[in-house]
Structure 1
Amino acid sequence: MPSVCPCNPSVAYASCCQLLHRGAPAATAEALMRSRYSAYVLGLADYLKATWHPDTVPAALDLEDTPGLRWIGLDVKRHADFGDGNAMVEFVARYKVGGEPAVRMHEVSRFERVDGYWLYVDGEFPG
């Protein structure tokens, strides 16, 4: 396991996303989104599926479908908790594939709190 957290290199993995990856509930939708980014970096498909809303979770999730993919950074733009069990997180994740230039993935994600746990519902890619 890494010593620094993929979602924030200034924080230790053990005191950040590892806690959620081991089953602790995320306090906020932003914390869940950060832990999901870290799970993509670390290849934790089971965690990703477990934190996906049951209405939208894919039947299969193959994290090996893009050979040479390397996640290189996360920037959370904004987070809104609507107070009704729904929240939104806007972020930009950067990745590279092989020697190609870096790609920016800009998403506005929706989250829902179910039985005390935040779950990823879906996302839109603005503009």
Structure 2
Amino acid sequence: MARRAPRPRRTRPVPATCPCGLPGGLDGCCGRLHRGEERAATAEQLMRSRFSAFAVGDENYLRRSWHPRTRPASVGLDPATRWTRLEILAVAGGSAFHTEGTVEFRAHYRLRGERGELTERSRFVRHGGDWVYLDGETST
């Protein structure tokens, strides 16, 4: 009697894009910042990595990337909210040559099956050489 070949294990497909919308998947994109292997080079990159942190529930990274002066005691992530897509609407400053910058974005989410979106104009500054989130003005 012939032996059957072992069945290949089913693995979860790796998304082709990071939650922030850039190619390469989370591990090769924002995950490097979440793990502390790299630092955000621009305010936009930090914004994208923070969106990804919201999407995967990484409260530690969100707190680390928040300016100590405005950082809340707890981020208070809602497990019922699923962040689904990020749109960058405008960027001002925030490059390797700046000390401050703004990123206006629209974040799409689902909450208990209902679609929603949040628009924010976020301010970022350099603190100790790193880009950090300072504050933002939101509209829904």
TM (normalized to structure 2)? Answer: 0.80
- Aligned residues: percent identity? 44
Distance 2:18 2:98 in 1: 30
Greater C-alpha radius of gyration: 2
Partner of 1:75: 87
After superposition, the C-alpha distances for 1:49-105 in whole angstroms (9 at most, x for unaligned) are 0000000000122213xx5211110000111116551100000000011122x1110
> Aligned-pair distance for 1:13?
1.9
Which amino acid is 2:32 matched to? L
Q: CA RMSD in A?
A: 2.0
Which amino acid is 2:113 matched to? G
Alignment gaps of 5+ in structure 2: 1-11
Say how many residue pairs are matched: 124
Confirm whether residue 25 of structure 1 aligns to residue 45 of structure 2.
no
Is the strand fraction higher in 1 or 2? 1
TM (normalized to structure 1)? Answer: 0.88
Distance 1:50 1:12 in 2: 22
Distance 2:129 2:32 in 1: 16
Alignment gaps of 5+ in structure 1: none
SS in 2 for 1:125: strand
SS in 2 for 1:10: coil
